[in-house]
Structure 1
Amino acid sequence: MEAYLVVASVIAAGVLLFVGAMGAARALRPRVDSPEKALTYESGVDPVGHGWAQSQIRYYLYAFLYLIFAVDAVYLFPWVTVVASLGWATVAEMGVFVGVIAIGLIHAIRRGVLRWI
């Protein structure tokens, strides 16, 4: 039961630290309301016109592919450091994981997602 007490106290300390930091930031920050603060600001460009803008879907696909391979790297690099102590079952599991990623990459290549022209 004391293991649960340790976990609960760590969670409580984290929540108290967060609440304390947010409360201190709110108490110490200057608060001056002005019309300029209510304006939309993005990249140093004043907003002109309406907020509708079209963008091509291929940029989202590049971002999605990057995300897939970044997650793959996040799982693969730590696994490589401990693979000797985990055994051959984890090698098979990682083979399945990399295989699923490879199937996704092959699908993307066949659909022409990775063509630059």
Structure 2
Amino acid sequence: MEHSVQYIGMNPYLPILLILIFGLALGLGVSGVSFLLGPKKPNQHKLEVYECGLPITSTAERRFSIKFYLTAILFILFDIETIFMYLWSAAFDYLGWFGIVEIGIFVATLAIGYIYVLKRGALRWD
């Protein structure tokens, strides 16, 4: 005998809303407890900028090259492709030929962007 449970009137987005509320409450709660119980004794050494364990000699000497930030942004952009391709592979049977064309367009766009980045020299670390 088959038992089926039907949820009448339940919104399908309710679990997502509950997870969002729980995550927000947990984050704010932990941050609040840390703020209330954490030490608050600022001094000159705590307020100094700390970078890679090296003392700062001057502000102009310790600046990062803009290439560092560009490389980090490019990593994030090209890393998103992994998420998209994973979701696409999970829905491969459902999407059919439309999914194959869609991922082909996506990979072509990604390849064009990668070639553009290579030609501009954004990945060269000089």
Shared fold (TM-score, shorter chain, > 0.5): yes
Distance 2:83 2:45 in 1: 42
Tell me the equivalent position of 1:37. Answer: 46
Distance 1:35 1:91 in 2: 59
Pairing partner for 1:47 from 48, 56, 59:
56
State TM-score, norm by structure 1.
0.70
Tell me the equivalent position of 1:27. Answer: 36
- The CA deviation string for residues 47-83 of structure 1, in whole angstroms up to 9 with x for no partner, is 11224546264x5554454334312122112312320
Pairing partner for 1:3 from 11, 29, 35:
11
Report the secondary structure of 1:75's partner residue.
Answer: helix
- The CA deviation string for residues 33-52 of structure 1, in whole angstroms up to 9 with x for no partner, is 22211222111111112245
**Which sections of structure 2, spanning at least 5 residues, go unmatched?**
1-8
Which structure ranks higher in relative contact order (CA pairs < 8 Å, sequence separation ≥ 6)?
A: 2
- 1:87 is the counterpart of 2:93: no
Pairing partner for 1:72 from 58, 81, 94:
81
TM-superposed deviation, 1:112: 5.4
RMSD over aligned CA atoms reads 3.1
> Judging changes above 3 Å, is the alpha-carbon distance between structure 1 residues 8 and 102 closer, same or farther for their aligned structure 2 residues?
closer
> Judging changes above 3 Å, is the alpha-carbon distance between structure 1 residues 64 and 25 closer, same or farther for their aligned structure 2 residues?
closer
> Judging changes above 3 Å, is the alpha-carbon distance between structure 1 residues 10 and 92 closer, same or farther for their aligned structure 2 residues?
same
Distance 1:60 1:103 in 2: 21
Percent identity over the alignment is 28
> Judging changes above 3 Å, is the alpha-carbon distance between structure 1 residues 73 and 16 closer, same or farther for their aligned structure 2 residues?
closer
Report the secondary structure of 1:47's partner residue.
Answer: coil
Amino acid at match of 1:74: I
State TM-score, norm by structure 2.
0.66
> Judging changes above 3 Å, is the alpha-carbon distance between structure 1 residues 115 and 24 closer, same or farther for their aligned structure 2 residues?
closer
